[in-house]
């Protein structure tokens, strides 16, 4: 934690705090009690998505999300956010007091200067007035959407992005994306987390560090992007600091061994082959977070299995 704070000093700032954007019925009982962690010194800010006076906060969540995922044609429609995320789950991340932000960050966070195709509907002069950045108490810097599933204890990580993707390096908040997901998993006492990302995406370097990553789907023709990995992790906070300090995960190396087979992010046939093996119950199969971190996005990755299976 000490090493992390040297680089992510913003975590201790009184002007930046975690937030939870959640309807009252979905509030977490005894938050942060399942995983021992001291990374988040400040109490979260609560925002109610069913309160229309919070539209300015929601608009900035949409603005960050669309500009992050719009270029890949994966921006989230507002109705999906409301129907499939806010109602069954919750949104978490970090927010800042507007006065504490640099001029560049303020401009990037202003949806009026970056009109979205999912443009918010203005219903009254009052809502237009409170959209002014200086009228807001807090403005979101990141978002992590997590949704509970019918499988007890399992949640789906639906979306993760931050303002960092829109800023030059010197203006970025170190570790903001990773820490936003970490806060959400910790706060909601998530034991098992599943998610989806595309093969060859830099997001895989991040998502593989929340626990040992099992590949439960190597190819997803049901998805609009078939070259998608569907993964599952047993949330393990011991893996989290390795994302920052790059230390080898000895627990992974002790538990899993290489199969001699690889997944090729450039080869659809490779994805389909691993998918067939999963469907034939030859797994479970895992990927090494350390290997993903070291390799280029388009390089082949070794497939691992539990050593006790040999």
Q: Are residues 154 and 117 in the same domain?
A: yes
Between residues 124 and 257, the one the model is more confident about = 257
Q: Are residues 213 and 271 in the same domain?
A: yes
Domain of 175, CATH number, reads 3.40.630
**Residue 303: which residues within 8 A CB-CB, separation 6 or more?**
215, 258, 259, 261, 262, 263, 274, 285, 286, 287
How does residue 108 score in pLDDT terms, banded at 50, 70 and 90? confident
Please name which of 182, 171, 211 lies closest in space to residue 194, comparing C-alpha atoms: 211
Please report the pLDDT score of residue 3 as a whole number.
Answer: 67
Please report the pLDDT score of residue 18 as a whole number.
Answer: 97
- Is the CB of residue 107 less than 8 Å from the CB of residue 168? no
Q: Are residues 11 and 141 in the same domain?
A: yes
Q: Are residues 154 and 197 in the same domain?
A: no
Last residue within a domain, chosen from 190, 214, 229: 190
Mean per-residue pLDDT, 254-283: 96
Instruction: Work out the mean pLDDT of the chain and round it to a whole number.
Output: 89
Q: Are residues 182 and 233 in the same domain?
A: no
Q: Are residues 206 and 179 in the same domain?
A: no
Please report the pLDDT score of residue 5 as a whole number.
Answer: 63
pTM metric for this prediction: 0.91
Q: Are residues 130 and 175 in the same domain?
A: yes
Please report the pLDDT score of residue 87 as a whole number.
Answer: 94
Residue 58 predicted with pLDDT over 70: yes
Last residue within a domain, chosen from 170, 190, 210: 190
Q: Are residues 141 and 254 in the same domain?
A: no
Residue 55 host element (H or E): helix 55-69
Last residue within a domain, chosen from 190, 212, 230: 190
- Give the number of domains in the chain: 2
Please report the pLDDT score of residue 222 as a whole number.
Answer: 94
Mean per-residue pLDDT, 116-125: 47
Distance between CA atoms of 257 and 259, rounded to whole angstroms?
Answer: 6
Task: Encode pLDDT of 60-105 as tens digits.
Answer: 888 888 877 766 666 788 888 899 999 999 999 999 999 999 999 9
Task: Encode pLDDT of 158-214 as tens digits.
Answer: 999 999 998 999 999 999 999 999 999 999 999 999 999 999 999 999 999 999 999
What residue has token string 């034991």? 191
**Can the peptide bond before residue 284 be classed as cis, meaning omega within 30 degrees of 0?**
yes
Q: Are residues 173 and 310 in the same domain?
A: no
**In which domain, by residue range, is 41 found?**
1-190
Between residues 153 and 163, the one the model is more confident about = 163
Give the three-state DSSP class for 252. Answer: helix
Q: Are residues 254 and 136 in the same domain?
A: no
Q: Are residues 154 and 272 in the same domain?
A: no
Lowest mean pLDDT among 22-26, 129-133, 297-301: 129-133
Q: Are residues 13 and 140 in the same domain?
A: yes
How does residue 272 score in pLDDT terms, banded at 50, 70 and 90? very high
Please report the pLDDT score of residue 294 as a whole number.
Answer: 94
Q: What percent of the chain lies above the pLDDT cut of 70? A: 89
Task: Encode pLDDT of 13-45 as tens digits.
Answer: 999 999 999 999 999 999 999 998 989 999 999
- Count other C-beta atoms under 10 Å from residue 111's C-beta: 20
Give the three-state DSSP class for 93. Answer: strand
Please state the separation of Cα 162 from the chain's center in Å. 9
Residue 139: strand pairing partners: 96
Lowest mean pLDDT among 12-21, 71-80, 111-120, 244-253: 111-120
């Amino acid at each position: 934690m000490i090493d992390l704070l040297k680089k992510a000093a913003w975590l201790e700032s009184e002007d930046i705090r975690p937030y939870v954007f959640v309807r009252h019925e979905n509030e977490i009982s005894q938050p942060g009690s399942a995983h021992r962690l001291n990374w988040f010194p400040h109490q979260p800010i609560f925002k109610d998505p069913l309160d229309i006076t919070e539209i300015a906060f929601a608009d900035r969540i949409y603005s960050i999300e669309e500009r992050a995922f719009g270029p890949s044609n994966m921006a989230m429609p507002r109705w999906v956010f409301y129907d499939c995320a806010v109602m069954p789950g919750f949104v978490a991340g970090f927010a800042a007091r507007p006065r504490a932000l640099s001029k560049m960050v303020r401009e990037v966070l202003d949806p009026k200067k970056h009109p979205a195709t999912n443009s918010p509907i203005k219903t009254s002069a009052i809502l237009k007035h409170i959209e002014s950045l200086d009228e807001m108490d807090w403005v979101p810097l990141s978002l992590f959407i997590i949704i509970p599933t019918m499988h007890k204890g399992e949640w789906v990580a639906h979306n993760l992005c931050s303002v960092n993707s829109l800023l030059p390096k010197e203006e970025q908040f170190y570790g903001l994306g990773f820490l936003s997901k970490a806060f959400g998993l910790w706060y909601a006492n998530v034991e098992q987390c599943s998610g989806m990302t595309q093969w060859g995406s830099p997001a895989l370097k991040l998502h593989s560090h929340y626990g040992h990553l099992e590949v439960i789907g190597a190819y997803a023709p049901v998805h609009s992007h078939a070259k998608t990995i569907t993964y599952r992790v047993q949330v393990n906070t011991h893996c989290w600091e390795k994302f920052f300090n790059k230390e080898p995960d000895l627990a992974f190396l002790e538990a899993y061994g290489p199969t001699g087979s690889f997944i090729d992010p450039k080869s659809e046939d490779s994805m389909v082959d691993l998918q067939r093996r999963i469907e034939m119950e030859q797994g479970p199969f895992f990927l090494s977070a350390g290997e993903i971190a070291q390799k280029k996005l388009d390089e082949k990755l070794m497939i691992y299995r539990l050593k006790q299976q040999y």
